[in-house]
A and B are shown apart, each in its own frame.
Chain A
């Protein structure tokens, strides 16, 4: 997303950017550092597949900068046996979290996430390490799970509005 002159500068460190993600809302700086210690930055280029629908869920991702696109398969492409038709359902930019469903239910990836811009920087936290921290420190665990629930709720509201508005006339 670009919003003309309203786009913020990108001089913040990854730590500062992560502190501005909703996943970390209401955590103390020390608690945030504990989570940051679990993960690492990864940089992707446009069209890179970050996670693939159906794969095991081993990590949770936070967009530090750049953009990713989430897409789900919808049957097969007509006249092309075996090739799945994909449907983009949302693009996620700075501060957004994905891969969180697998953190909660340990199910397979529900969607494919593809990098949409060169140089997109993600912070990647191994699922098992984050679960271990949340189970060992219930103060952190409660806040992180509440923040993930709030994020999932926001995404559902976005999806509901998207489906409702797609058919409206401009």
Chain B
């Protein structure tokens, strides 16, 4: 499965990121976006899967 993930930061004007990754993100995971550290606080399905692609949204907060 290829996980296409939209990372968005809550409470900031951070642009967020869109990346393909091999493993799904999980709530509580640490992530580095643009050199800054964040923690994932929510994961939702952004759209139904198509073939090998899953479409996820991860909401992040600063740590």
**Within residues 30 to 56 of chain B, which ones have a CB less than 8 A from any CB in chain A?**
30-34, 46-47, 50-53, 55
Within the complex, the shortest CB–CB distance from B17 to chain A, in Å, comes to 4
Q: Is A94 touching B20 in the complex (CB atoms < 8 A)? A: yes
Residues of B within 8 Å of A3, CB to CB, are 21, 23, 25, 29-32
- Do residues A154 and B32 form an inter-chain contact, with CB atoms below 8 A? no
- Chain B interface mostly helix, strand, loop or mixed? strand
Q: Between A and B, how many residue pairs show CB distances below 8 Å?
A: 119
Tell whether, in the assembled complex, residue A90 and residue B15 are in contact, meaning their CB atoms are under 8 Å apart.
yes
Taking a contact as CB atoms under 8 Å apart, the answer to whether B16 and A154 are in contact is no
Interface residues of A in 74-117 (CB under 8 A from B): 88-96, 116
Q: How far is the CB of B35 from chain A (nearest CB, A)?
A: 9
Query: Do residues B16 and A95 form an inter-chain contact, with CB atoms below 8 A?
Result: no
Q: Do the beta carbons of A1 and B7 come within 8 Å of each other?
A: yes
The reply to whether A2 and B32 form a contact with Cβ atoms under 8 Å apart is: yes
Query: If the complex has contacts A153-B47, A154-B6, A165-B11, are A4 and B30 also in contact, measured as CB distance less than 8 A?
Result: yes
**Would A162 and B8 count as touching, CB distance under 8 A?**
yes
List of A residues within 8 angstroms of B16 by Cβ: 90-91, 158, 162
Q: Which residues of B contact A69 (CB under 8 A)?
A: 15, 34
Contact indicator A158/B25 (Cβ below 8 Å): no
0/1 string, A142-170, CB within 8 A of B gives 1:
00000000100111011001100111111
Alpha-carbon distance A157/B25, docked complex (angstroms): 18
Interface residues of A (CB under 8 A from B): 1-4, 6-8, 20-22, 25-26, 67, 69-70, 88-96, 116, 150, 153-155, 157-158, 161-162, 165-170
5 contacts between A and B (CB under 8 A): A1-B21, A25-B50, A154-B6, A166-B12, A168-B10
17 further contact pairs, Cβ within 8 A, besides A1-B32, A2-B31, A169-B11: A1-B19, A1-B31, A4-B31, A6-B25, A6-B29, A22-B4, A89-B15, A93-B19, A94-B19, A116-B34, A154-B4, A154-B47, A165-B10, A167-B11, A170-B10, A170-B61, A170-B62
